[in-house]
Amino acid sequence: MKKAILSLGVAAFTFFGAKAQETPVAVENPNAAVLNFETEVVDYGTIEQGADGTREFKFTNTGKEPLIISNARGSCGCTVPTWPTNPVKPGESASISVKYDTKRLGPINKSITITSNASEPTKVLRIKGNVVAPQTSPEKQTPSGAPIEP
């Protein structure tokens, strides 16, 4: 009898544990805001160290409800996004500004994660490029064997 009760208990635990693992089905809102970017990748190209690292991602809300961006987060502390805090009405355009710290030399390959109430609630944008040391004017060199001017 104890084995039968124990077996039923294990079976019930397994059944309810499996049901708890099911993912809920997301209900899609046909009127949801739609975040439509002009480009999802901004290429800085080759820029000098200390240059202006601010670029913009322009977008339009092509949905039927106001778009609310709740967060924008850079992949590291060197990438700082700022975004509109007011709702973006359907048909309106706005932009997300990203400032990259150009004091760091080398290739740029960073991401910005946008969280909003859009039909696609998470969107990842990228910046890329290369930061090089600034050019300095070379010293005037005298060819060897040439007379030195007084």
Strands 79-82, 69-74: pairing is unpaired
Q: State the pTM of this model.
A: 0.71
CATH 2.60.40.10 assigned to domain 35-130? The reply is: yes
User: In whole angstroms, what separates CA 145 from the centre of its chain?
Assistant: 58
Residues 6+ apart with CB under 8 A from 147: none
Collapsing DSSP to helix, strand or coil, 114 comes out as: strand
DSSP 143: P
Beta bridge partners of 113: 73, 124
For the residues 40-57, what does the mean pLDDT come to? 95
pLDDT digits (tens, 9 = 90+) for 138-150: 666 555 655 656 5
Report the percentage of the chain scoring pLDDT > 90. Answer: 65
Under a CB-based contact definition with an 8 Å cutoff, are residues 127 and 40 in contact? no
